[in-house]
Structure 1
Amino acid sequence: MSFHHRMMLQRYGLGCTTSLYSEVLFDPIFTPIFTAVLGTGAFNIGVASISYASIASAIATTAISIGLQALLAQAPKPPKPEDGRAPLNQAIPFRIYAVGRTRVAGARMMWEAKGSNLYSVQAIAGHRIKSFNRFYLNDDEVTVVDNVVTPLTTGGRYGAGSANVRLYTRLGANPETPYAELVSALGADGIWTNDHRGDGQASLAMRAHNADAQDQQTAFPYGAPSPSVEIDGAYCWDFRDPAQSPTDPSTWTWTRNSAVILAWHLCFNEFGFGLDYQKALLPVIDLWKEEADICDEDVPLAGGGTEKRYQCNGWDTTENGPKSGLNAILATCDGHLVARGDGARILTVGKFRESRTATLTDADIVGHNVQYGVLFEDECNRLVPKFTYPATNYTSCDTDFFEDTDAQIAAGRVLTMEGSYEWCHQWRQARRLGKRDWLRQRQEVKGSLDVRLSGINAVYARWVRLDTPKRLPKLDGKLIENRRSIVALTKGGFTMDFIEHPEGIDDWNPATEEGQQPPVPPAVNVSNIPTPVINLIQAKANGGSVYIRVVIIDPEDGSFTPVVRYRVADADGLGTPGAWVEQQNPSAEPSGGYIDLSTGNVPADKVLDIQVAFIASNRRYSNWSVTETVTSTSDPTPPAALTSFTPTGSAPRLGNAAFAFSTGNDAHVRSVDLYRVAAGIAFDPDAETPIASLAVGPSASYSYTYGDATRANLLTDGDFSVSPGPWTLETGWSIGSGVASKAAGNNTLIRQPAAIGAGKKGRLAYTITAFSAGSCISRLTNGTNHYEGTARNATGTFLETTTVVAATTIFGIRGSATFVGSIDNVYLYEETAACAPQGTWDFYAVPINGSGIAGPTSGPITLTII
């Protein structure tokens, strides 16, 4: 039976079901594509041309493995956060990767006792990391100064008598530096030598020295110390930063942005999916930038200040495969990831936008299975969001749950499900994610649609609007969410699992929905001083300076003096943090279960690390709290728009463009950035580098020239106002009515003297005002050497740059024997290094305040630079 015949029979069968097609209709979409699989061809999906063969074999959407779905589907999961407290002990351990900020112990590479010393080395991550932040021995957080564990907060542990512990770290450079102390002690035995560098592997080494017999129990009450660390993990390519190159990891930055981390995991993580970024990211890079920006949006907090919408922190091992990490990352941003047929990956994070919505009509659907209610076995009347809580030394923790008490009474019991967001470390973020899953779980309209190939764009969209007055009249005009789509040839093309999009899923009122901060059990050190728990951090501008407001949970002990300390996270521009600066708050009083603290003036417009501790009456310190990060923005108010932004001068613009602009009566404006982008290209200031940053003040006017203003036209009478003037007219050429014209018959020049130096570039422009046949071409010559441009055979203005090897003395335009046309407005000059790039450009101006916050954009001004 032929393929054509089988398709016809399938059509007849569908005609007897819920299909809208008649028995004799042959599908014009389905048939051509899949009969062409054996041949060649392509059609467009979005902006990309996809081959039929790739459609048949590769088109699908990746399941949204987030929260409840990941839990219910038994998707692979990363290790529990508690697993990061103790190192793995395996003969051949699995490799580890880490993103964001997390606690991890890694895997033991060496454990050796020699004399009174115990030596160990742990592989922390199989890639370069940013920093080691905090150190733990067993469950005690310890302070390390010059590699030595100091017993400041451990009551003598790890430092009693002659005992001491040293910790050494390596960030994973390639090549890496050997541990000199271990090599000195163990190298002669071949246990650990200079060849044990661990290139590209972040690692932690320890040397623990025994105490005297009477002090051993005090120094090491838990036996041999087991180190673990809090680290800032992998560097990632932030595709929004033009200074970063995907092929040069040295330009990458550390980040917690969920979208940026996901791109790294898909394409650059050695233990990820290994996709080609040129296929997976670049064709849709603007979509990825949009998602990364949404992840970085500031969400207001109930007590003041903001936090980023979606952040990601976690670690995993290669035992689980890359999908484990993928699920965890998607869970942190309510992410929806699509694998397009051409290899591109499209991410949509949890924030509804009409631009990510497609439409399905009656004609696009061949079958459906809709459920207008929730089966008892699927019912959930309580959702408990779970996340990893740094304040409890990186353990799993619950936030306030979401519940429906009426549904619980009707069901006669509490039906609980957990939302698992293990790579989310912010309790408020876990609440926001939990609300989204809770509202979806409560939706009663769910099901699946069998979609024809004509509805392929909907398969790739996260949200779909139904235009189905005949097939699904109850859902006509409704918005549904595409939860998962797969190729299903026997069902017409694709099967799409969907759920009705909940109303108000993006609404968030911090005052009523944020909930309470999860309780933190008292984590006392040996001096019985609890560790402070930070509720929120906020930078407060104050007359051009900045102080930091820190709110902590009241320890209900008035004898403690809270102390805040801060440091600049990147003091030298190379990622090295500055020194800690402490400030005590002895007069701070509790109110409503919290204590409101503040620092003095801090460095303005810097990223700061913040920690809090308690000081007891005996002057002993508690452990320092979890490190929080804040930007000390001195001026959060964006400047007003420029009152004017105009070009000055007139064409021709030989190697330069000049502008004038004025600022308004606005005290916030401090500078204006000027940008240049190719004409007609969308402008994104975050992805462009300014051509100039000009210091400005309010209510003032400024001018700026971009490029070399000294250039002048080397040609006389380039507008052909006289005949023959300076021009030499060869056979067929004539000047009249302000143009130079040529008749057919001879291959000849119109020329005049013009010198371009040896090794220099001549820039030129000319306009063909009329054209009938043949072609013309520019020429620079010294009589022996000829340097020609591009042959032109149409009307228009043409820009060219010609490099000459030997100095030239003559410029001309040569018309072919068949050329019939007219030329006007000819310009030529010698290019310098200061010249602005040749071309037609859009120019923009953006006012900036003292904290680097941008105001409204002015432009575009479109100018042509010759």
Structure 2
Amino acid sequence: MIRDERFYSHSYATPDQRILWEHTLRRTTTLYPIARRDPIFTPLFVAMGLTGTIAGTTITTASIASAIATTALTFGLQMLMVPKPPKPEDGKAPKTQAIPYRAWCVGTNRMAGAYMLWESLGNNLVAIQAIAGHPVSAYKRFWLHDDVVELADLDALGQRKPSGDPYRDNVYIFRRLGSESAAALPYQSIIDRYAAKPASERLWTSQHLGFGQASVAMLARAAKAKDQQSRFPYGVPNLTAEVDGAKCWDFRNPAQSPTDPATWTFTKNSALILAWHLCFSEFGERLDYTKALLPTLDFWKEEADICDEAVPLFGGGTEKRYECNGWDTAENSPKAGLNAILATCDGHLVVRGDGARILTVGKFRESRCVTLTDADIIGHSIQYDVLFEDEINRLVPKFTYPEVDYATADTDYFEDIPAQLNAGRVLSEEAEYTWVQQWRQARRLGKREWLRIQQKVNGSIDVWNSGINAVYSRWVRLATPIRLPRLNGKIIENRRAVVALTKGGFSMDIKAHPDGIDVWDPATDEGKQPPVPPRQSKDNIPTPVINLVQSKANGSSVYIRVDIIDPADESLTPTVRYRLSDDGTGNPGEWVEQEYPDAVPAGGFTKMNTNVVPSNKLLDIQVAFMTSKKTGTWSLVAQVTSTVDSTAPAVAEALSWASPTFSARAANTTASQGRTAYLTFKIGTTAQTFAAATLINKLAAAPGDVRYVQPTPVAAATRRLWVQPENGSGVVGPTAFLDVTFP
């Protein structure tokens, strides 16, 4: 007998029972053996019966069955109906309203906020602007109109240094992260300007603290009459800031606590930002993280790791797969931000009946795919083509481009020319990725959507309760030789699922899953960098546009390769500068500059290699053009990690358990790259992944070294002991494990 028959032989022994089993129950997921059931969903029904508790909360089978699955919307009629965050261009002018809506931001953005104070005091103009209704991570630089003000251009009091033309020392800029102490929060320089006024006329006092509110302030002092026009050629300066937004809990880091925001760090990881928006942001869903995240934390860790995966670039180097940068206001519901975040990672979010959320980002995995059989489906409505008015033969990805002052831009589009000829015209749609700032990421997301558009099969399926696992899954493999023979063996994508009791249980909106959706060839798929209109500085010197920043190892040292678009002007000398993003004090280090008077353009780009830079550090990179007399405006900051060893070390060897000691040997690599520097030991259940297991210790280990740890024993229990190698640059190798049973 096969395994299933052995399992059920005691229950289906008579001929009638065998017929019931063979033709009905065997084709469903209702009564599968425990080992074959979904590890997240089905056990909720089996273990609890009609009622039970999860994370201390009583739930019922009916409440579990009320879950909903949603997918990011980026184009089409449905996209027009959902609330959307403001356009990035809207953030360049401060709001002037009696009671403006509060703003919130994640990732890096250019923002002006809303005026809290705007008043003339003698020959001074005072302006205070609320940037975000929560603490932010950092201010990176400012703009006065379109003139860039670097932090280095400001002295300790916020005053512009005399060399800072055209405003010179007539403008002060102050900033508050919102996380400062009560003594540091007030804008003392502005309070002092009101000191001579009666108490009733002091519009800003030491009581205006702004706890937890990020803000900026400007004090502009009138110049002499003969200098006023040259100092303020465009009138009153319009102050905007480049801001690193909210800090988020990285649940992969044991040093961070969900209850202590002081341990959180700034991130652009889409999965981490979504978790913050769902549970910790006062502008989000305000869910209880113990119910929404902790029951499925292993899944969230997996998705966060995928967002951080390195994707190769055509010119060399890598960038992270999915990053999120954007801002919104309290005028919109949390769903606006939710959809914008999901769009940055091609995300699919499940709301489970017990309150838990499960995120699946855009990367197909068999572990997230379940099977749906004929017996699980009660009805269907499938279209194998689309109506002419719904046809799309061109898709244009749109994103926010920092190189054009954080405005909306397009990448190269995707199109089907034969379909255009057949239709007689171009039927174009725009895919909105407003919270994406990497043009290559927008192309990757656009390609995924384009491949789905080309799959004409779509529709809906009505599912029995026996198919509940499929309702919660993003990808479903159909085993339907009777009901849907044309789709038998095919994979479909669950785009949306709702409870539909009148249809037997659930209704799923589906779309055929394209083969090769994860295939990405930078040489053919990346396209060209979107054009950047020439921007002249105050001295008519153009601002460079960075195309590529790449870390290049040279033995035990490392240098940085920087590619910029050729300005087609031989009189300009490119200059590269770099600094540590964090010098160990939480602040960036000092800039180090290097000129390239002999740089020769080739193929439309100017390529430069720096001198040796600090190893294994996150660096900020900028480029500017110089003439014989002046230096132009510096480009936007690009970041790169100066990785010396990018080769993953080999798997650890000779795993051994001799109670109470677990040991492993670092691979005895003789090559200069891929050498083990550390071994990380963890312990977990046999069902847990390495990421979910508990850290035992991380020990330094050279190639060939044996390291020993003593895990905390669990009496009469079987546990999985893990070890993972890591090289000196933080690149990890494959994991290995040993299952042991404690006495």
TM range (shorter): 0.7 to 0.9
1:75 match: 82
1:849 aligns with 2:727: yes
1:586 pairs with one of 597, 612, 618: 597
1:387 aligns with 2:387: no
Change (3 A) 1:376 1:798: closer
Superposed displacement of residue 268, structure 1: 0.4
- Give the Cα–Cα distance (whole angstroms) in 2 for the partners of residues 217 and 231 of structure 1: 30
1:684 aligns with 2:562: no
1:666 aligns with 2:678: no
2:7 match: none
Superposed displacement of residue 666, structure 1: 2.8
Superposed displacement of residue 141, structure 1: 1.6
1:182 match: 190
1:612 pairs with one of 602, 623, 629: 623
- Give the Cα–Cα distance (whole angstroms) in 1 for the partners of residues 486 and 566 of structure 2: 53
Counterpart contact for 2:684–2:694, Cα < 8 Å = no
Counterpart contact for 2:252–2:691, Cα < 8 Å = no
- Give the Cα–Cα distance (whole angstroms) in 1 for the partners of residues 179 and 663 of structure 2: 47
- Give the Cα–Cα distance (whole angstroms) in 1 for the partners of residues 307 and 707 of structure 2: 38
Q: How does 1:207-286 map to 2 (within 5 A)?
A: 207-286=219-298
Deviations 1:715-737 (A, max 9, x none): xxxxxxxxxxxxxxxxxxxxxxx
Superposed displacement of residue 680, structure 1: 3.7
- Give the Cα–Cα distance (whole angstroms) in 2 for the partners of residues 337 and 123 of structure 1: 32
Counterpart contact for 1:530–1:622, Cα < 8 Å = yes
1:360 pairs with one of 372, 378, 383: 372
Change (3 A) 1:71 1:212: farther
Superposed displacement of residue 845, structure 1: 3.7
2:104 match: 97
1:621 pairs with one of 615, 619, 631: 631
1:336 pairs with one of 338, 348, 355: 348
1:197 aligns with 2:209: yes
TM-align CA RMSD: 2.8
- Give the Cα–Cα distance (whole angstroms) in 1 for the partners of residues 29 and 382 of structure 2: 27
Counterpart contact for 1:585–1:598, Cα < 8 Å = no
Counterpart of 2:288, as a letter, is D
- Give the Cα–Cα distance (whole angstroms) in 2 for the partners of residues 533 and 517 of structure 1: 10
Deviation larger for 119-128 or 438-447:
438-447
Q: How does 1:642-721 map to 2 (within 5 A)?
A: 642-647=652-657, 653=660, 657=661, 659=663, 661=665, 663-667=667-671, 668-678=674-684, 680=686, 682-684=688-690, 688-696=694-702, 698=703, 700-702=704-706, 704=708, 706=710
- Give the Cα–Cα distance (whole angstroms) in 1 for the partners of residues 608 and 402 of structure 2: 21
TM-score (norm. length: structure 2): 0.88
1:412 pairs with one of 424, 433, 453: 424
Counterpart contact for 1:672–1:845, Cα < 8 Å = no
- Give the Cα–Cα distance (whole angstroms) in 1 for the partners of residues 77 and 270 of structure 2: 17
2:439 pairs with one of 409, 423, 427: 427
Greater relative contact order structure (CA < 8 Å, 6+ sep):
2
1:786 match: none
- Give the Cα–Cα distance (whole angstroms) in 1 for the partners of residues 266 and 404 of structure 2: 24
- Give the Cα–Cα distance (whole angstroms) in 2 for the partners of residues 152 and 524 of structure 1: 19
- Partner-residue secondary structure (3-state), 2:305: helix
- Give the Cα–Cα distance (whole angstroms) in 1 for the partners of residues 389 and 662 of structure 2: 71
Superposed displacement of residue 592, structure 1: 0.7
Counterpart contact for 1:640–1:666, Cα < 8 Å = no
Counterpart of 1:131, as a letter, is A
2:148 match: 141
Q: Which has the larger radius of gyration?
A: 1
- Give the Cα–Cα distance (whole angstroms) in 1 for the partners of residues 654 and 137 of structure 2: 44
Deviations 1:636-674 (A, max 9, x none): 112233443435xx65x5xxx374736414344353324
- Give the Cα–Cα distance (whole angstroms) in 2 for the partners of residues 139 and 359 of structure 1: 56
2:173 match: 167
Deviations 1:6-44 (A, max 9, x none): xxxxxxxxxxxxxxxx9xxxx998xxx9xx9xx992499
1:85 aligns with 2:92: yes
Q: If each structure's strand is expressed as a fraction of its own residues, which one has the higher value?
A: 1
2:612 match: 601
Percent of aligned positions that are identical: 56
- Give the Cα–Cα distance (whole angstroms) in 2 for the partners of residues 628 and 61 of structure 1: 36
Counterpart contact for 1:256–1:312, Cα < 8 Å = yes
- Give the Cα–Cα distance (whole angstroms) in 2 for the partners of residues 419 and 859 of structure 1: 44
Counterpart contact for 1:646–1:661, Cα < 8 Å = no
1:128 pairs with one of 132, 135, 139: 135
Deviations 1:273-304 (A, max 9, x none): 00111111111111111111111111100000
Counterpart of 1:184, as a letter, is D
Q: How does 1:815-854 map to 2 (within 5 A)?
A: 842-854=720-732
1:295 pairs with one of 304, 307, 318: 307
- Give the Cα–Cα distance (whole angstroms) in 1 for the partners of residues 64 and 692 of structure 2: 35
Change (3 A) 1:233 1:840: same
- Give the Cα–Cα distance (whole angstroms) in 1 for the partners of residues 607 and 219 of structure 2: 41
Superposed displacement of residue 148, structure 1: 2.4
Task: Count residues in correspondence.
Answer: 688
Counterpart contact for 1:360–1:458, Cα < 8 Å = yes
Superposed displacement of residue 315, structure 1: 0.5
- Give the Cα–Cα distance (whole angstroms) in 1 for the partners of residues 62 and 686 of structure 2: 34
Superposed displacement of residue 702, structure 1: 4.1
Superposed displacement of residue 72, structure 1: 3.5
1:41 pairs with one of 34, 50, 69: 50
Change (3 A) 1:531 1:686: farther
Counterpart of 2:68, as a letter, is A
Change (3 A) 1:642 1:290: closer
Q: Which runs of 5+ in 2 are unaligned?
A: 1-22, 31-41
Change (3 A) 1:372 1:841: closer
Q: How does 1:752-791 map to 2 (within 5 A)?
A: none
1:106 aligns with 2:113: yes
- Partner-residue secondary structure (3-state), 2:632: coil
1:481 match: 493
Superposed displacement of residue 203, structure 1: 0.6
Counterpart contact for 2:493–2:512, Cα < 8 Å = yes
Counterpart contact for 1:644–1:663, Cα < 8 Å = no
- Give the Cα–Cα distance (whole angstroms) in 2 for the partners of residues 263 and 225 of structure 1: 38
- Give the Cα–Cα distance (whole angstroms) in 1 for the partners of residues 189 and 708 of structure 2: 59
1:633 aligns with 2:647: no
1:822 match: none
Deviation larger for 361-370 or 546-555:
361-370
Counterpart contact for 1:379–1:415, Cα < 8 Å = yes
Superposed displacement of residue 629, structure 1: 1.0
- Give the Cα–Cα distance (whole angstroms) in 1 for the partners of residues 463 and 249 of structure 2: 37
- Give the Cα–Cα distance (whole angstroms) in 2 for the partners of residues 294 and 703 of structure 1: 30
Deviation larger for 662-671 or 361-370:
662-671
Counterpart contact for 2:126–2:219, Cα < 8 Å = yes
Counterpart of 1:638, as a letter, is A
- Give the Cα–Cα distance (whole angstroms) in 2 for the partners of residues 341 and 82 of structure 1: 39
2:318 pairs with one of 306, 309, 314: 306
- Give the Cα–Cα distance (whole angstroms) in 2 for the partners of residues 343 and 289 of structure 1: 18
Change (3 A) 1:75 1:221: same
- Partner-residue secondary structure (3-state), 1:420: strand
Superposed displacement of residue 68, structure 1: 1.5
- Partner-residue secondary structure (3-state), 2:245: strand
- Give the Cα–Cα distance (whole angstroms) in 1 for the partners of residues 154 and 443 of structure 2: 38
Change (3 A) 1:335 1:704: closer
Counterpart of 1:578, as a letter, is G
Q: How does 1:486-501 map to 2 (within 5 A)?
A: 486-501=498-513
- Give the Cα–Cα distance (whole angstroms) in 2 for the partners of residues 185 and 675 of structure 1: 59
Counterpart contact for 1:539–1:631, Cα < 8 Å = yes
- Give the Cα–Cα distance (whole angstroms) in 1 for the partners of residues 53 and 363 of structure 2: 27
2:67 pairs with one of 35, 38, 59: 59
- Give the Cα–Cα distance (whole angstroms) in 2 for the partners of residues 539 and 214 of structure 1: 50
Deviation larger for 662-671 or 577-586:
662-671
